[in-house]
Amino acid sequence: MSTVTVKEDQSSSSAYAELFESMSSYFGELTGSEFMQFRQRGLDHFLKSGFPTTRDEDWRFTSLKTLESIKPVWKNTEPDTGAVRQIIDTLPFNDSQFNRMVFIDGQYCESLSTIHDQPEGVDLMPVSAAIRLGLVREEEIGQYTCDSHSNSFVPLNDAFFQDGLFLRAAKGVEVHKPVHVVYLASGLAGNVQFPRQMILMGEQAKATIIEEHRHVSVDGPLFKNAVSEIFLGDQSHLECVKLQLEPESSQHFGSYFIQATKEASFLLHSFDVGAGLSRNSFKAMLNGQNINGVLNGLYITRGKQLSDHHMIVEHNQPSCESHEYFNGILDDKSKAVFHGRIHVDQKGQKTDAKQTNKNILLTDDVVVDTKPQLEIYADDVKCTHGATVGQLDDEAQFYLQARGIPRRQARKMLIHAFASEIVDRIQNELIREQVDRIVWDTLDELPSLK
Amino acid sequence: MLEIKNLVAGVEDNQILNGIDLKINPGEVHAIMGPNGSGKSTLAQVLAGRDGYEVHEGEVLFDGKDLLDLAPEERAGEGLFLAFQYPVEIPGVNTTYFLKSAVNAVRKYRGLPELDSTEFLKLVREKMKILELPQSFLKRPVNEGFSGGEKKRNEIFQMAMLEPKLAVLDETDSGLDIDALKAVAEGVNRLRSPDRSQLVITHYQRLLDYIVPDFVHVLYKGKIIHTGGKELALELEERGYDWIIKEHNEPVTA
Amino acid sequence: MSSSTDTIDKLVKNEYKYGWTTEIESETLDAGLNEDVVRFISAKKNEPEFMLEWRLRAFRHWEKMAEPKWPHVHYPPIDFQAISYYSAPKKKEGPKSLDEVDPKLLETYEKLGIPLEEQKMLAGVAVDAVFDSVSVATTFKETLQKAGVVFCPISEAVHSHPELVEKYIGSVVPYTDNFYAALNSAVFSDGSFVWIPKGTRCPMELSTYFRINARNTGQFERTLIICEEGSYVSYLEGCTAPMRDENQLHAAVVELVAHTDAEIKYSTVQNWYPGDEEGRGGIYNFVTKRGLCKGPRSKISWTQVETGSAITWKYPSVILQGDDSIGEFYSVAVTNLKQQADTGTKMVHIGKNTRSTIVSKGISAGRGQNSYRGLVQIHKNATNARNFSQCDSMLIGDQCGAHTFPYIELKNSSAKVEHEATTSKIGEDQIFYCNQRGIETQDAVNMIVNGYCKEVFQQLPMEFAVEAQKLLNVSLEGSVG
């Protein structure tokens, strides 16, 4: 095609070039010089491509104008652990039952974290520590984010990544107690954050993780761009719950990459209720036989929120099963975008894949754009997808009212039931209960249900 | 009519039938019983010519012809009928249309003139009476939305329509309540005649209360290990299979 | 396993039965496209000034456009300057009756199994046959005239009903709509024009058989159907094409306008040359079809059975503008050999209480790639809009692909949109079941596929349904084991 074209809007890209310079000494401290090349490559890629526009098919319904208007700022300040402590104490997941890792403004806060004794073969620590200990080398990072170039948020994270969960479980080991990872923004360290997670599960290893995104203060815009790389060895099992509870001033981007090998199983739950704009992308590559994967999500939006989910599941080997279930509840003038694609390779015979996206609209001013897609190159497969958009079932509502339940409560019951379809898929009982409570609280706050 | 000689067959590398010998003369009803996994259904599938089942040894003669050499539809044409254990649903294909195609395909194979719509419907009505099937049956797609009992009755109805020389009933009693079982058995019995034979594959003896066999064979690990008269079925019901298996495992000289 | 693959191969290697060329002297324009060519076409048809102006505007717009790249199809680039944009059979004088039609033409139709004479008597169908862009025979004019129905080539309507043509042409598919619509607007050769007066039920099914013939001639039909208040018409379109080595471009535009309480039923059976096993030759079928439900309670229904063409790119759509209007789309699309189809529909709900139904049945065999792409758009004011979509794909053999790309865009919460899709193959157990009852594999496949497509065939007029079923059987001959 044409040679290098000059981006029309250079302001946002060049702002990141400047930011990179200002952060380079911090990066040197954090991950050492050996990662500078990796970072530089990410930066170069991003500077070339910039943020996607609505002209890109994958971003047709999600405009990044507001994001581009944010001038990225980073300050290396000590977090106010006092204020954070208050938040931590109210967190739903008790640190006696969970491992807890707290990251404030992208930096690991050891004093607020609790890591229980782990069996041999489990490495549970921040990514920065894993790098310092030589557990991750430069060529190992970014291995699983392959083919991510359509999504310039990944190279941007490559350039700026700070810290995040590192979990490696050796063959046959089960991680002791679920790991609760909290990413907090204090509002003091500028307006950009780049968490990075690496989860590497050996053969038959098992783990449960909760990833929670919150703010201490709600002032000012924030751009959070997280990347997670997950490798699942043969017959390993991972359950992962993501809670995105950021304030409306935040713009949240999360990219998950999962590579699974034979007979692995995973459940990935996403509860997306915060942020003015959120984009959750998932790419699952099923590279072995008999893998069982579930992507399960709920989004609840209000105000002018936009919640965007984008996922690709690749069936590259025979006899895998994948299910994606995404339910949305939309209030006020909010908007939801769903893009799901099941890709079945010629080798993916006996694939059993199912995808559903259901949306309930609570007002006349919401917008839903949904694209559930199937791309299938093998003949012996069972693939279905379905999407529905509509209001609450009038008949059910009436039925409840006829049994004496007030209208408001009837509506809430039905909507809660709709949300429970997703919540109930969480296997870990402790987590399920807490998530259910968070969902109830969120529903309670919806203007249309008050 | 049917002669199975030293039949060794299986699926892929898994050998299931280990040398079956069986002879069925015209008019006879044979029952094959045996514990789960003994190869009963495999035998039915091999006889009908299902893809994926491989015959390693032996031969099967049907009226003197090499059955294993024929395509499934040719076997049907020759007069072999399999009443499936799990009849498949064929959405959108109306039962009448399906049956007419089948009947005429088989007639064509046998060198008989094809039936026109009037003749066909007359035949249908006649046979439906036997099985007490409702008219609505004919308009519905093949087996789609049928209950377990309806599917089995549909199998026997098709059998009546196709007038086979040898009918293989593969676990026709499974999933049937006693009334449905009686209706099905009655349908089968009406088709008994001196020149037709039946091979009844079943796990339980209760079907044989209604379809009374001339011979009962016990299949175990892909071999017929015992043969007796109809009273053998009752004995099996009472005593189970263990005693025969034990007898079979003991040396002959003992 | 292996035996089933063999049968699949056999089934797939089924040759196109309608391949030959009729030798008739054509008056063909040299390849290439520029303003002069547009002027030549317009002059040749003796068009009024407004048509020429409109064509030229379309041409100028087209020059600025690029070919669409988003469909899920692959083909070598088309050299639009290597195509000849005009070809017409030489006629001595316009034929007044069938007797005057070139006997070779009639023979061609007979080979296709559409004897005009017979059809005229038996089916009561008026046939406006397009042979390489120019209409050569129109029958049943009188009956239609009595009812006040106008059914004629659009080249004729430009003269006889210029006010209608000027008012409606490009009103549903403007030339700015897409690359091929712009091209068609600039160079369209001919097509059908239908106008049904107020309160009239068209006394017969209207039908046109298209046929592509002369070598290297892109064919650019333009069809315009207008139903005035309370009227009804059922229009059938069907086609086959002779075997060719070069790919032939076909970029038609069809516009439908339904006024208050009017109903248009548009049915298509498409069987153009699909190319050979290696994908050589075959028609590129890039079509823009769109209907406008302009008045309240109007209804437009598209039914298509697409078995031919190397590449199909086609989305018959309905704009539901009038309150309580209804849009329907029923489709069977078959890809065999190396055929590629990217087809579906758009249902644009603008008016209140508008309803739409989409039933799409894709069948992929051989090395065919079949994509459903559909958009359901509910606008802000489309209160109580309803859509139901059912997209099923069937795969026959392991070298083909089936893809589903639905888009739902919703801006009104009282709307209800449901989309379901399934992908399956013909079950070996289904075929075995039929075999066991004495039915041969090919017949079993036909039976199962026809059962699968039933919902769509039911929408077709009787004689068309039979033809469609046959066509489907022929296209899938040799495809399963």
Three-point CA angle B130, B131, B134, nearest 5°: 115
**Nearest Cα to Cα of residue C211 among C31, C21, C471:** C21
User: What residues of chain C lie within 8 A of the CB of B163, using their CB?
Assistant: none
Is A361 part of the contact surface with chain C (CB cutoff 8 Å)?
A: yes
3-class secondary structure per residue, chain A: CCCCCCCCCHHHHHHHHHHHHHHHHHHHHHHCHHHHHHHHHHHHHHHHHCCCCCCCHHHCCCCCHHHHHCCCCECCCCCCHHHHHHHHHHCCCCCCCCEEEEEECCEECHHHCECCCCCCCEEEEEHHHHHHCCCCCHHHCCCCCCCCCCCCHHHHHHHHCCCCEEEEECCCCECCCCEEEEEEECCCCECEECCEEEEEECCCCEEEEEEEEEECCCCCCEEEEEEEEEEECCCCEEEEEEEECCCCCEEEEEEEEEEECCCCEEEEEEEECCCCEEEEEEEEEECCCCCEEEEEEEEEECCCCEEEEEEEEEECCCCCEEEEEEEEEECCCCEEEEEEEEEECCCCCCCEEEEEEEEEECCCCCEEEEEEEEEECCCCCEEEEEEEEECCCHHHHHHHHHCCCCHHHHHHHHHHHHHHHHHCCCCCHHHHHHHHHHHHHHHHHCHHHC
Q: Which residues of C touch B101 (CB under 8 A)?
A: 439, 443, 447
Of B82, B88, B141, the CB nearest to C429: B88
Mean pLDDT for chain C overall: 81
Please tell me if residue C436 touches chain B, with a CB cutoff of 8 Å: yes
Identify which has the larger pLDDT, C96 or A401: A401
A349 and C398: CB-CB below 8 Å? yes
Nearest of C389, C123, C121 to residue C236 by alpha carbon: C123
Q: In chain B, which stretches have pLDDT less than 50?
A: 253-254
pLDDT tens figures, A56-67? 888 888 888 888
Q: Show the 3-state SS of chain B.
A: CEEEEEEEEEECCEEEEEEEEEEECCCCEEEEECCCCCCHHHHHHHHHCCCCEEEEEEEEEECCEEHHHCCHHHHHHHCEEEECCCCCCCCCCEHHHHHHHHHHHHHHHCCCCCCCHHHHHHHHHHHHHHHCCCCHHHHCECCCCCCHHHHHHHHHHHHHHHCCCEEEEECCCCCCCHHHHHHHHHHHHHCCCCCCEEEEEECCCCHHHHCCCCEEEEEECCEEEEEECCHHHHHHHHHCCHHHHHHHHCCCCC
In angstroms, rounded to a whole number, what is the distance separating the alpha carbons of residues C102 and C117? 14
Residue C212 has pLDDT above 70, yes or no: no
Sort out which chain A residues have CB atoms less than 8 A from C70's CB and list them: 57
Residue type for position B77: G
CB within 8 Å of chain C, chain A residues 319-348:
330, 346
Nearest-CB residue to A390 (from C399, C406, C415): C415
Contact C343, C373 (CB under 8 A): yes
Whole-prediction pTM: 0.79
**What is the distance in angstroms between the Cα of C96 and the nearest Cα belonging to chain B?**
44
Residues sharing a CB contact under 8 Å with residue B249, sequence separation 6 or more, in sequence order: none
Query: Which residues neighbour C69 within 8 Å (Cβ) at sequence distance 6 or greater?
Result: none
- CB A160 within 8 Å of CB A194: yes
Nearest CA-CA distance, residue A359 and chain C, Å: 10
Query: Side chain identity at A253, as an amino acid letter?
Result: F
pLDDT band per the 50, 70, 90 thresholds, residue C110: low
Give the residue among C114, C14, C19 at the shortest CA–CA distance from C474.
Answer: C14
Q: Which two tokens stand for residue C260?
A: 């208050």
- Are C371 and C406 within 8 A, CB to CB? no
Identify the pLDDT of residue A130.
94
Nearest CA in chain C to B79: C438
Domain map (residue ranges) of chain A: 77-392
Residue with the bigger pLDDT between A153 and C1: it is A153
Amino acid identity for residue A346 in this structure:
Q
Nearest CA in chain C to A356: C420
Which residue in A has a C-alpha nearest to residue C403's C-alpha?
A375
pLDDT at C95 over 50: no
Distances (CA, A) of B82 to B56, B120, C428: 22, 22, 16
CB count within 10 Å of CB A223 equals: 19
pLDDT score for C478: 63
Distance of alpha carbon C108 from alpha carbon C112, whole angstroms: 6
How many angstroms separate the CA of residue C435 from the nearest CA in chain A? 20
Give CA–CA dist A250/A192, Å, rounded. Answer: 10
Contacts of C469 in chain B (CB under 8 A): none
Q: Is the dihedral of CA A56, A59, A65, A70 positive or negative?
A: negative
Cα Rg of chain C, angstroms: 22
What's the confidence (pLDDT) of residue C113? 55
Please tell me the distance from the alpha carbon of residue C277 to that of residue C338, in angstroms, as a whole number.
6
> Which of C364, C423, C426 to mutate to probe the A interface, most A CBs <10 Å?
C423
Cα angle C320, C355, A415 (rounded to 5 degrees) comes to: 125
Return the partners of chain A (3 or more C-beta pairs < 8 Å).
C
Q: Is there a contact between C332 and C468 (Cβ–Cβ < 8 Å)?
A: yes
d(CA C29, CA C133): 13
- Residues of B within 8 A of C432 (CB-CB) are 48, 50-51, 72
CA A281 from centre of chain: 7
Contacts of residue B68 in chain C, CB cutoff 8 Å?
none
The proportion of chain C whose per-residue pLDDT surpasses 90, expressed as a percent, equals 44
CB atoms within 10 A of CB C3: 12
- Contact status of C440 with chain B (Cβ, < 8 Å): yes
**What residues in B contact C440, CB-CB < 8 Å?**
73, 105
Query: For residue C414, which residues of chain A lie inside 8 Å, CB to CB?
Result: 364, 391
In contact, B189 and B177? CB cutoff 8 Å: no
Q: What is the structure's pLDDT at C231?
A: 97
B35 interface with C at CB cutoff 8 Å: no
For chain B, the C-alpha Rg in angstroms (whole number) is 18
Asked if C274 contacts C302 with a C-beta cutoff of 8 angstroms, the reply is no
Using CA atoms, how far apart are residues C365 and C9, in angstroms rounded to an integer?
A: 10
Chains B and A touch (3+ CB pairs under 8 A): no
> Splitting chain A (450 residues) into consecutive groups of 10 residues, what average pLDDT does each group show?
41 84 88 87 90 86 88 80 78 87 91 93 95 84 69 90 95 96 86 94 96 83 94 97 93 95 97 95 95 97 95 95 96 94 92 92 91 88 87 75 76 88 94 94 89
Chain C residues whose CB is inside 8 A of the B106 CB are 437-438
Pairwise CB contact (< 8 Å): C395 & A387: no
The rounded distance, in Å, linking the Cα atoms of A392 and A415 is: 8
Q: In whole angstroms, what is the distance from residue C376 CA to residue C409 CA?
A: 6
Q: Which ipTM was obtained for this model?
A: 0.82
The CB-side HSE value for A96 (13 A sphere, CA atoms) comes to: 0
List Cβ neighbours of B115 (8 Å cut-off, separation of 6 or more).
B100, B103, B104, B107, B123
A 11-70 residues with CB < 8 A to C: 57, 61
In this predicted structure, the answer to whether residue C279 has a pLDDT above a threshold of 80 is no
- Using alpha carbons only, give the angle A256, A262, A265 rounded to the nearest 5 degrees: 55
Tens of pLDDT, residue by residue over C231-253, are 999 998 875 544 444 557 889 99
- Mutate which of A376, A391, A393 to disrupt the C interface (most C C-beta within 10 Å)? A376
CB A391 within 8 A of CB A420: no
Give the contacts of C385 (CB within 8 A, at least 6 positions apart).
Answer: C320, C349, C352, C353, C354, C355, C356, C378, C412, C414, C415, C416, C417
Could you tell me if A388 and A203 are in contact, meaning their C-beta atoms sit under 8 angstroms apart? no
Who among C427, C447, C451 is closest to B88 (CB)? C427
**Structure confidence at residue B92 (pLDDT):** 77
- Give the span between the Cα atoms of A438 and A245, in whole angstroms: 10
- Dihedral class, residue B143 (left if φ above 0, else alpha if ψ from -120 to 50, else beta): left
Q: How far apart are CA A329 and CA A449, in angstroms?
A: 11
Cα C335 off chain centre by: 15
Question: Phi-psi category of C265—alpha, beta or left, where left has phi over 0 and alpha has psi -120 to 50?
Answer: beta
Mutate which of C436, C447, C454 to test chain B, going by most B C-beta atoms within 10 A?
C436
The C-alpha of C340 sits at a distance from chain A's nearest C-alpha, in angstroms, of: 13
Kindly list the residues from chain C whose CB atom is less than 8 angstroms away from the CB atom of residue A365: 413
Query: Tokens representing A110?
Result: 């050891």
Predicted pLDDT of residue A277: 96
Give the pLDDT band of residue C422 (cuts 50, 70, 90). confident
